[in-house]
Structure 1
């Protein structure tokens, strides 16, 4: 007889699936690109170039809308609090490194749960990498 899933277990399961999909997607993007590949927003992508942020967020939205929403909040908060804009590579690393940057992963979870209070609290926890916090 199977046990019914609690909401918390279902959310944890969903987050694990989203993280696995994101890790797979990031791994695919890490493979060297060919000169025939194109970006709808910016034309051909050359090997070694970083994917444009808008393209990355659009793809992320297709896979996991809550992840894209959490990433947008994270990007905006880093820009406001630290006075800098993250590159797509930095965001990809924040998503993939050691299970994901904790504040970013929390923002994704809060977006999934539509928890505005958690989002506000998580944004306050963002630390600027160069100490440039405003």
Structure 2
């Protein structure tokens, strides 16, 4: 998991720079929000496994909770504490190409609260 820390921190810096340009008006409803495709693209630049694991997480949320996450919700899942354990596990399982772990983790999605 420590191997993922540096890329994830680099992602937060890259997203922070991209998400809040100095010229962006603060009053817009989407200030600080970047499109999901851009967020996933940044993940792919840092680690293809991070993007793959995150896409699996998004699909599992849609399947189990019958809704899509916003980019802001995904960013929280990445950053709250040590990150959502299911999301972090899916990223790790993607890195290891562990199909069994990916399937098991995809079943552990919780729909209550912010998910």
Shorter-chain TM-score tier: 0.7 to 0.9
Give the alignment of 1:87-106 within 5 angstroms.
Answer: 87-106=70-89
> Equivalents in 2 of 1:56, 1:116: separation in Å?
24
Partner of 2:7: 21
Quick check: 1:34–1:47 contact (8 Å CA) kept in 2? no
The structure whose Rg is larger is 1
Quote the offset at 1:27 in angstroms.
4.1
Give the alignment of 1:11-50 within 5 angstroms.
Answer: 15-30=1-16, 32-35=20-23, 48-50=31-33
How many residue pairs end up in the alignment? 109
TM-score with structure 2 length normalisation? Answer: 0.82
Quick check: 2:50–2:91 contact (8 Å CA) kept in 1? yes
Q: Which runs of 5+ in 1 are unaligned?
A: 1-14, 37-45
Quick check: 2:15–2:39 contact (8 Å CA) kept in 1? no
The two structures, once aligned, show a CA RMSD in angstroms of 2.4
Partner of 1:72: 55
Q: Which runs of 5+ in 2 are unaligned?
A: none
Quote the offset at 1:47 in angstroms.
7.5
TM-score with structure 1 length normalisation? Answer: 0.71
